[in-house]
Amino acid sequence: MAVSVSSRHTAALAPRDRFALSPAGIMVICAAGLAILGLTILFSASVTKNPEVYLFKQAAGIGMAIVAALVVSRVNIEFLRRYAWWIGGAAVVVLLIVLIPGIGVTVNGSRRWLGLGSLRFQVSEIGKIAMVFCLAHYLAINQSRIGEFKRGFLIPLAIVGLFVALIIKEPDLGTAALTGAVGLTLLFLAGARLIYFIPAVFAGIAGIAALIYLMPNRLGRITEYINYVFHDAPPPYQLYQSLLAFAAGGTPGAGLGQGRQQMNFLPEAHTDFIFAVIGEELGIVFTLGIIVVFLIMCVAGFIHLRRAPNLFQYLLVTGAVLLIGLQAIINLGVVTGVFPTKGMSLPFISAGMSNLLLMGILLGIILNTQRTWTRARIDPRNTEWEGAR
């Protein structure tokens, strides 16, 4: 009898066990761990201010992300795909509205937010996911012509370029670069000819260089960074404080609430540079652990892609994984001095409802496909997959 009860108990838990060990389940577990760490470190880093406010806002953001993930996980993606151009058009309208003086909220010289009372939403987060959705749809319906220059490269490049240009106009060069990188990667994976990318990449680099030159404050940042890397000049102030935090934390860390960066020495300590606060208070073990967790999430996401039933969903989920992984890479690179200083949140950890909501939507897409995809591998006879890398 005991064996029978045990067997029934095991059978009852099996679906949950299977989910926990699935790629999507692993990603959710990793995201939950990062979010809990974010709550903890935000409370610790704000002990000299008003920690309850930071904690409440972050908890509310996590709650919104959970709701978004649950809702998106139950949506019929193929049904939603019918309205891909409407979704893209709505995102473009929102990106245009935020540029209107008096409507878009300006912070530090950039008009990136729409405000409602004390709440603000960064609209470029909508632009990123809308670009992925529209591009995946276009590439899927034009897969047989992906080798052509106009239909297979120029038009999808224009789709990416439209969203990138509107985000640059805010201006937000970091998010624009991330959006462009994800778009070009999806285009490459769909099977576009490699030779077409060479002039596009050079044109993009030239365009970014021209924009930086025309923006004195950003040119100053780049010049400071170049002098630091190549001419042994002191690092820019924000990077200096970040590196100082890592050095002060060492291997064991100073302890929760014991770091000096909570005294406002490090600008954007709660958002873009929260990784430095973690390094100071929790030490190198935790910082390396965070990097490993993001690596696990990305690997799990790419393993999940093997079950994709069609090119649209393959590219959609690839875009979701890239938006998480590349954003983490950029943030970690900036905080450690690998990249020039540029504001970008650390996924699931940094304070900010907008990015948490986006991360919830991205996880919802992955959960949705975990629920709907079959375990069968991709059928090579499916013509929608011809030419896909």
Q: What is the mean pLDDT of the chain?
A: 87
The secondary element (H helix, E strand) that includes residue 307 is none
What gap in Å lies between CA 245 and CA 336, rounded to an integer? Answer: 10
Reported as a single tens digit per residue, the pLDDT across 269-310 is 888 999 999 999 999 999 999 999 999 999 999 999 988 999
Look at residue 375 in the predicted model and tell me its pLDDT.
46
Return the residue matching tokens 């893209």. 88
101 phi/psi in degrees, rounded to 5: -60, 135
On the question of pLDDT at 9 being above 60, the answer is no
Could you give the C-alpha distances from 195 to 147, 203, 217, 274, in angstroms and in order? 11, 14, 35, 40
Residue of 326, 293, 373, 331 lying closest to 77 (CA atoms): 373
Whole-model pTM: value is 0.90
**Over the stretch 60-118, which tens digit does the pLDDT of each residue have?**
999 999 999 999 999 999 999 999 999 999 999 999 999 998 888 877 777 888 877 66
Quick one: what percent of the chain has pLDDT higher than 70? 89
C-alpha to C-alpha distances, 141 to 130, 374, 379, nearest whole angstrom: 17, 22, 18
- Over 50: is that where the pLDDT of 378 sits? no
Q: Determine the Cα–Cα distance for residues 166 and 120; give it in Å rounded to an integer.
A: 19
Beta pairing, strands 110-116 & 104-107: antiparallel
Whether residue 186 contacts residue 316, with contact meaning beta carbons closer than 8 Å, is answered with: no
What is the per-residue pLDDT across 158-186, written as a single tens digit (0 to 9) for each? Answer: 999 999 999 999 888 889 999 999 999 99
List of residues 6+ apart from 139 with CB closer than 8 A = 146, 156, 186, 187, 190, 311, 312, 315
Angle, vertex CA 211, rays to CA 207 and CA 214, nearest 5: 140
Q: Give residue 338's pLDDT band: very low, low, confident or very high (50, 70, 90).
A: very high
- What Å distances lie between residue 201 and 97, 151, 181, 204, 351, CA to CA? 29, 18, 10, 5, 33
In this predicted model, what pLDDT tens digit does every residue of 341-363 receive, in sequence order? 888 999 999 988 899 999 999 99
